[in-house]
Structure 1
Amino acid sequence: MRRNHRAAILTATVLAGTLLAAGCSSGSGGKQSEEDTGAASAGKADTPRMKVAMITHAAPGDTFWDLIRKGAETAAAKDNVELVYSSNPDSAKQANLIQNAIDQKVDGIAVTLAKPDAMKAAVAKAKKAGIPVVGFNGGLDAWKDQGLLEYFGQDETVAGAAFGERLNELGAKNNICVIQEQGHVALEARCAGVKKTFKGKTTNLYVNGTNMPSVKSTITAKLKQDTSVDYVVTLGAPFALTAVQSASDAGSKAKVATFDLNKDLVGAIEDGDIQFAVDQQPYLQGYLSVDSLWLYKTNGNFSGGGQEPVLTGPAFVDKSNVEAIAKFAAKGTR
């Protein structure tokens, strides 16, 4: 299976590069600047304009999604795609956004399935309308059952298990796994993966991810209540940075490690405030989601044969390799 995953990733990358070289307009001057795209400048595809809706469960203020959107916008600029981005953490309202996209007669939909059951009917309507749908970021266990064309993301159970093994190597004994949205399948899978391989004690701690002061006070209270906690595991970069403050406020010696990465977190790893991060490459998820719909509409290509996901993580970032990652994080591609 891992070989198929690697083949799917390689196929997507090679196809995107080959088609970009073949499909660029040589005389249109359609170049995107590095400043606009956050990546190396590339020619614009000389293909008919198409419209893609990207619909996520992003909560307001969560900077993780800025990386997703930046990748999507870069692919859209390259592929001559009109990108319509929308989000709502409420699954029912997210499903309504899919219906809005159907009503707009978009050419493709890229969607997260953080709460798959709530999205099932809306996804089925899109398919019935003849709109290809790809999944990314959330819904690894549901995308095939719902008939999505492709999926781009991280196997969160595998990532969690690898995280737990890393904690074992570091000699951790007692961690709290901070979940910022109860019922979110990917977040729950991460903590379940940690618990599966970690030899010590793992306790899930639920917080309100849309209220960072509340997140801080909840973690602080837990660390004061249980002084034996030696690691705080967070599931997003902003929560990791907040957890560092919580440990300080609680007078705790607990260290912090996290899933997901951003520019500020890279600096915290360099400074030693964060021990390590697991990067699922959100920029790549956004980019591939849009680019895959362009490839499908333009050439009939799709990765993994509709059977295997394209994995974008997990990749560990710590002091040993953070310097190499920092330049990419600075421009918003890691």
Structure 2
Amino acid sequence: MKKLLKSAAMAIVLTAGAFTGAAQAEGEQFVWISHGPDSDSWFNVIKNAIKVTDEQLGTNTEYRNPPTGDLADMARIVQQAVAAGVDGIVLTIADYDVLEGPVKDAVASGIPVVTANSGTIEESKSLGAMLHVGQPEYEAGFGAGERAKAEGVTSFLCVNHYITNPQSVERCRGFADAIGVDLGDQMIDSGMDPSEIANKVKAYLTANPDTGAILTLGPNSAAPSIRAVKDLGLDGAILFGTFDLSPEISEGIKDGTVDFAIDQQPFLQGSIPVQALASYVRYGVAPANSIFTGPGFVTKENIEMVEALAGQYR
């Protein structure tokens, strides 16, 4: 893994411009700001990627997030980073309107910004960021919907545990468009509490017994939804797709409850922005284009290869 990361770091520099001489500085202070609340374990891979990358590049990157997922709090974290005069900022575009002012202020003050994970390339460019590193959410949802359509699915439930993030809705909308139906009320605001998620999924499936598929948007909604499906005796009888990976999702794929997981490779989302900022601050070079890290699909055919890495690198 370390050799691969070093190769990736060198590739970023070499594709952006000539690599000349030793680093001009080390110990740069970066901040990586996510929208994920403390309860969201998915960002553990991001945190691990930051740690590994800092160790290899000699950078100091602080991971920060709003503890409850409050986006106004996230905007204040951006403002605090600008006031502290950090050398670079990475952040998720959880809500463009909320973050626009603070991020544009950062760029205007001369702080380089890379966006990652949530958001679009267009939004990233509009904010003045150097590049965006992540998965195109609508396209990922559309790809999942194509798989569902091929299995004859014409109705579904999208379990959205973070509905305040507009990009989460894009996942559900892409799924609906690929199937060829309106999203309508097929998306529910499940909240983050596991018991509430399971109860809401059970209630929906009971009220809509002809539902052909379930799409969950990450481990927070996937694990309770898996339990709900099993409690109703629908495991293996309803197509189940999810975003991201976790031990519960991996087990669901192996036992046939989950048909596929969409892997957006969060390790790359955590690491590449730090590499790009270090290259820019030290050498004045950066990748010319944004970088897609997904989607990739994990199924029974390849789960054995990736499950051992879940939670750290996948």
Query: Taking structure 2 as the reference length, what is the TM-score of the superposition?
Result: 0.88
- Which residue type is aligned with residue 218 of structure 2? G
Matched, 1:314 2:291: no
**What is aligned with 2:187?**
204
Contact 1:216 1:243 in 2 (8 A): yes
What does 1:1-334 correspond to in 2, within 5 Å? 14-15=11-12, 47-88=25-66, 89-140=69-120, 141-199=122-180, 202=183, 203-209=186-192, 211-252=193-234, 253-303=237-287, 305=288, 308-329=289-310, 332-334=312-314
CA–CA separation in structure 2 for the residues paired with 1:281 and 1:216: 27
The letter for the 2-side match of 1:68 is I
Is the 8 Å Cα contact of residues 108 and 133 (structure 1) preserved in structure 2?
A: yes
Once the two structures are TM-superposed, the CA of residue 206 in structure 1 deviates from its matched residue by 1.4
**SS of structure 2 residue aligned to 1:149:** coil
The aligned amino acid for 1:197 is A
Instruction: Say which is worse superposed, 183-192 or 312-321, in terms of deviation.
Output: 183-192
Residue 138 of structure 1: how far off its partner (Å)? 1.0
Q: 1:92 to 1:309 in 2, by over 3 A?
A: same
Query: Which residue in the other structure is 2:4 paired with?
Result: none
Counterpart AA for 1:284: L
SS at 2:159 equivalent = strand
- Asked if 2 retains the 8 angstrom alpha-carbon contact of 1:53 and 1:84, the reply is yes
Contact 2:54–2:60, Cα closer than 8 Å, also in 1: yes
Q: Work out whether residues 240 and 256 of structure 1, in 8 Å CA contact, stay in contact via their aligned partners in 2.
A: no
Q: What's the TM-score once normalised by structure 1's chain length? A: 0.83
2 CA distance for matches of 1:201 and 1:232? 15
Question: C-alpha deviations, 1:155-187, integer Å up to 9, x for none?
Answer: 111111111100012222321011112231211
- Count matched residues: 299
Consecutive unaligned residues of structure 1, counting only runs of 5 or more, are: 1-9, 26-44
Q: Distance in 2 between matches of 1:157 and 1:285?
A: 18
Counterpart contact for 2:161–2:220, Cα < 8 Å: no
Q: In 1, Cα distance between the equivalents of 2:261 and 2:31?
A: 30
Q: C-alpha separation between the residues in 2 aligned to 1:272 and 1:219?
A: 19
With over 3 angstroms needed to count, the CA separation of the structure-2 counterparts of 1:24 and 1:333, relative to structure 1, is farther
Question: Aligned to 1:57, what secondary structure does the other structure show?
Answer: coil
After superposition, the C-alpha distances for 1:283-330 in whole angstroms (9 at most, x for unaligned) are 110011111111111111211x2xx4200000011011112222332x
2-side partners of 1:196 and 1:277: how far apart? 19
Gaps of 5+ in 2: 1-6
Return the offset for 1:90.
1.3
Aligned-pair identity (%): 28
Q: Structure 1 residues 201 and 146 mapped into 2: Cα distance closer, same or farther (>3 Å)?
A: closer
RMSD: 2.5
| Matched residue type, 1:65 | F
